[in-house]
A and B are shown apart, each in its own frame.
Chain A
Amino acid sequence: MSYVSPEMRAKFDEITGRYPRRQAAVIPLLHLVQEAHGSLPAEAQREVAEYLGIPAVKVQEVVSFYSMFTEKPRGRHHLMVCRTLSCALGGCQEVSATVERVLGIRHGQVTADGMFSVEEVECLAACDMGPVMQVGDTLHGHLDAGKTEALIEELKKR
């Protein structure tokens, strides 16, 4: 299977053109591939390396260093629960515990039906609305156990 379609290749060309060195484009390109395929298996990484003309190990290093990249698929809804200082001062452990209880999975896992995954993350720069959780592109603030449960129910319907 090819991870890089001709349309994606055109985007690759445009992005790579912004930098004097091709390798600089590796993070934006990996984002594109992961958005399209949900994860970055070894073969996808190899294709990006080949496109950029750099050793595959350089791409592997980047994938393993940055927390947003994943080699294994996440759930359709990936719940990122903030666990850092301000959110902790507001009671974020209650949010984490509720997510784990309602979904029956732990931080770092995916539900059996592939619908949900959970990850505890560091400060999401929304500390005035803590405790917060980011799902996809959207931030949800001022959470407690009840609101967390309601949010998950709402997501189940999507």
Chain B
Amino acid sequence: METPRYLTRNFGNPGALAHEGYVKSGGYQALKKALGMKPADIIEEVKKGNLRGRGGAGFAAGVKWGFLPKDDGGPRYLAVNADEGEPGTFKDRALLEQDPHQLIEGIAITCFANGVHAAYVYVRGEFHKGRRTLEEALRQAYQAGVLGKKVMGSDFSLDVHLHPGAGAYICGEETALLESLEGKKGFPRLKPPFPAVKGLFGRPTIINNVETLSCVPHLISMGAEAWAALGCEKNGGTKLYCLSGQVRKPGLYELPHSTTLRQLVFEHGGGPRPGRSIKAVIPGGSSSPVLTEKEMDVRMDFDSLGKAGSMLGSAATMAIDDSTSMVRLLQNVSRFYAHESCGQCTPCREGTHWMHKIIDRIAEGRGQADDLDRLLDICDNMAGKTICVLADAAVFPVQSFLRKFRAEFEEYIRKGRKMSLVGWTEEMPEAPTAAGIH
């Protein structure tokens, strides 16, 4: 059965990039509806629709909005997280480039519901096209009276500004993003105080992901019940899944939240490439613990994957086939975190580098007998010991790779140089993706 498309309904329809075309496709009707509702009722609706944050943590959007303190007359802000950088994730760039008005509509409804009159969209620096597309859409939205002094003729006023990043994975972390928005280097802040109380420029601030906000118009226009029914328990709506890696049909899939990992990879993604078999899957971005092929009958919602010992995260699903060495793969992942640690907290700055060094030497055939225990020790000294959770994100793959594929690591250590030079290639001579991982 073909799933109805909501978030991606305008993909491939360049007409909808313009305000007029977006309106023709039914756009800005949800905003109109929302402007006729009580703000508190909109928040209630979003809570009932079980809209979970799609930036990584899966926190219920309506609940987060409820944390804003009572209006004290001063400014309060919405910061839109368009810094998409979690390895394997490519949904927010698509939403920016293919349906910017959908995002603007979601922003406007969210701001109206929360008494916010200024929003900043923090767009990843490398997203030149997304930035230009959103800039033009914002210009048209102002011109059409969707933004500015009287939003669609109401008494509500709203300014939406675009703010570019400049290349730093850590700025996707919400408090680092706020620092960056204030013109500083992206060092995460200690919590509490939480951004809802003291966020951007010291004022109450909501931070939401691009996809989360893009869901809002659909939830409001169809109503909470219908939106909730598209997904499963506590996970409302459809979800964008980013499928990449060693499958036949990588791509962006909008599917019910209740889709299983196996369905995503085998039915939608077409399964492994010819002559290969799926060995493992990283379900939700490089920090989410790896699952084996046997564990793939799990629903791709935040809670089910959590119970299975992994995370939905940013729904960046990476399929790994039998041609790939898990040691080489972890070498790549650990390099990423060592490179992206902002360096503020010692356990993370030092720990990510030590881990990478050790995995590097194992992969290069110079591993020592106690290296695996040493790695797990380092993990224990990092997780939960830092200001933000980048350290935990770096630890999860190491722990899960070692738990589920320990034998591969031990083999590398035992066979030493011989292994890394000839081992895998000898056994699997025509591995098509040899570079990098093999």
A residues sitting closer than 8 Å to B (CB atoms) are 18-21, 23-28, 30-31, 52, 54, 58, 61-62, 65-69, 80, 83-94, 97, 121-130, 134, 136-137
Contacts and interface: CB of A to CB of B under 8 A. Distances in A.
A100 B87 CA distance: 24
Given A65-B185, A123-B89, A84 B167 contact: no
Contact of B183 (A24, A69, A83): A24
Interface of B is mostly: mixed
A118 B129 CA distance: 21
Given A85-B336, A137-B128, A67 B166 contact: yes
A21 B201 contact: yes
A123 B87 contact: yes
A133 to B, nearest CB: 12
Interface in B110-165: 124-129, 159, 161, 163-165
Contacts of A92: 435-436
A130 to B, nearest CB: 6
29 contacts: A18-B159, A23-B184, A24-B182, A26-B183, A27-B163, A27-B164, A31-B125, A61-B185, A66-B165, A68-B125, A68-B166, A84-B336, A85-B329, A85-B333, A88-B329, A88-B435, A89-B318, A92-B435, A93-B436, A94-B436, A122-B87, A125-B90, A127-B245, A127-B250, A128-B90, A128-B242, A128-B243, A129-B250, A130-B244
A85 B318 contact: yes
B339 interface: yes
Nearest to B124: A125
B86 interface: yes
A61 to B, nearest CB: 5
Interface of B: 75, 84-90, 92-93, 124-129, 159, 161, 163-169, 180-186, 201, 242-246, 250-252, 282, 286, 316, 318, 320, 324, 329, 332-333, 336, 339-340, 432-437
A106 B252 CA distance: 33
A83 B436 CA distance: 9
Residue of A61, A93, A136 with most partner-chain B CB within 10 A: A93
A66 B166 contact: yes
A86 B183 contact: no
Contacts of B85: 122-123, 125
B166 A134 contact: no
B185 A62 contact: yes
A122 B336 contact: yes
B332 A126 contact: no
Contacts of A136: 128
A94 B434 CA distance: 9
Nearest 10 pairs of A and B residues by beta carbon: A67-B167, A66-B166, A93-B435, A65-B185, A68-B167, A88-B436, A127-B244, A137-B128, A23-B183, A26-B183
A125 B332 contact: no
B167 A91 contact: no
B340 A89 contact: no
Given A28-B163, A66-B167, A126 B435 contact: no
Given A85-B333, A123-B85, A61 B184 contact: yes
Contacts of B126: 68, 80, 121, 124-125, 134
A66 B125 contact: yes
